[in-house]
Each structure stands twice: as C-alpha cells, then as structure tokens.
Structure 1
Amino acid sequence: MQTQRVITAEESAHRDTSRQSIADIARFLQDTFSQRLTAFIAGIEDPKQVGKWCAAQNSPRIDSELRLRAAYQVFQTIEHAENSHTARAWMIGMNPQLDDDSPLQAIADDRFKDAMAAARSYIKGDL
C-alpha cells in the first residue's frame, strides 16, 4: 500500500512561488495590495514601474524580485492555511512577533525569514 504525503501550506506556497513568473507575481501583488504598496515592498520609488513589470515590459532588479517573491510566498502560505481575506489583513496588519511592523514592512526591510517565521507561528496558532 502506498502512503500519500500531505503537502503543507508552506510547501504548497513554495511550489507555487517557484512556478510563477515575476510578471505574474507583480500582477498578483498589485491586484491584492495596490500598485503603490507593491512598489514599497519592492523598494522602488516609481509605482509605474510595477505596471511595466506586470506587463512584462521589463523586469525588476534582483533585490526587488527577491522582495516580491518573498511577499508572494508568505501571502500564499497564509492563504493556503486560511483564505485570501485573512492573508491580506495579516500581511498589512501590525504583528507583535515583528516588533509591531507588518509582514509587508518586514519584507520591504529584507527581513524575509522573520516574516516567514511569523507566518508559521500564525498557522500553528502561536500568535
């Protein structure tokens, strides 16, 4: 008898993030959080650049891409465990595990591991 392994929310989010183009990720974040907030996450000053990324007219620098992929993956982790409304609220809200910064602020500050650790704690019910 073959045993089927259950895929966790975190594993599913990782797979999904790995399969998405940066244009798709930028588009998702823009649709979910706004063009201005997506630019903030990416660490850029011109929100119109996000629209160009969404249209695949150009690509973000690697540091911006890392932030966008981290934001997408953390969002997907929460969404797979909860729902999109909860994931959005959790991403923009103050988080005590992040010294009251939002997960999006932590990601914009390159604190990817801290944001993911906070997501894991939330899913486990620790916070």
Structure 2
Amino acid sequence: MTVSSVARPDYAAHIRAVRSSFPEVVIALREILGLKLCAYLGSVRETRAVNEWADGVREPSEAVQRRLRLALQVAGAIAEVDSAEIARAWFQGLNPQLGDRSPARLLREGDLDEVGPEVIGAERAFLVGG
C-alpha cells in the first residue's frame, strides 16, 4: 500500500505556526496581514505593541499568543496558495462558511477553542474551492 506524500495545503502553515518563536510568528503575520490587522487580532489599539512583540521587547497574554499563532496558520496557508492580499481580504470579509461573520472578528472576540476549528474549516473550504 502506498501512502500519499501530499499533505493538506495548510499542514506546512500549521508546522510553521507551532514551531516558530512568538516574535517570528508576529513578524510573519505582520508581513501577510499587515500591522493594523495584527493589532486588531491582538486586541491592542496601538500598532506599536505589535512591533514590540515582533522585537521581543513585549509579550502579550497567552490567549493572544494562541490567537496569533492560529491566525498565522490560516493566513499562511491562504497566502501560500493565493497571496497575502487574498489572505487579508479573506480575514476581513464576511464569510458564508462562518455564518457571514469575518474570520478576524471571530478570532478576536470568540473563544478560540470554539471558533478556532470553525475558522480552520472555513480556510480549508476556501483552499479547496468550496
């Protein structure tokens, strides 16, 4: 029996999000989603906080770190298949897979254990064209 070596499109993004240091997560996420969207996801009003996280000068709560790691996993997978511009639009747009709610708002305001799997499911559906 032969096992396929083709992983799901988001597997590499998951590994990157898990294995990266938190400053590396913020740097990568900032490159894909931009500074303002990163600040929104991190529940901070000033983009300076995001830059301080990237520089390792400051560290957010564990909940924010988990949220940003998940955001990198999702954004990284979309950017790899499409582009950073598409990933930004996907995060901000109303998503029919998520009850016409934006993934960014769900991640920021929802319980990550509940909304995380929903957002990942919507990302996977988007990547396969569903």
Matched, 1:92 2:89: no
**TM-score by structure 2 length?**
0.82
Among candidates 76, 98, 114, match of residue 118 of structure 2: 114
**TM-score by structure 1 length?**
0.84
**Given that residues 32 and 76 in structure 2 are in contact (C-alpha distance below 8 angstroms), is that contact kept between their aligned partners in structure 1?**
no
> In the superposition, relative to structure 1, how do residues 3 and 121 fare at CA in structure 2: closer, same or farther (>3 Å)?
closer
Q: Is there any run of 5+ residues in structure 2 with no aligned partner, and where?
A: none
- Kindly provide the amino acid, as one letter, of the partner of residue 121 in structure 2: A
1:12-63 per-position Cα deviation (integer Å, ceiling 9, x unaligned): 1111112221112212223333333212101234432111101111222101
Correspondence for 2:76: 76
Give the structure, 1 or 2, with the largest relative contact order (CA under 8 Å, sep 6 or more). 2
Correspondence for 1:50: 50
> In the superposition, relative to structure 1, how do residues 124 and 50 fare at CA in structure 2: closer, same or farther (>3 Å)?
same
Q: Distance in 1 between matches of 2:50 and 2:100?
A: 27
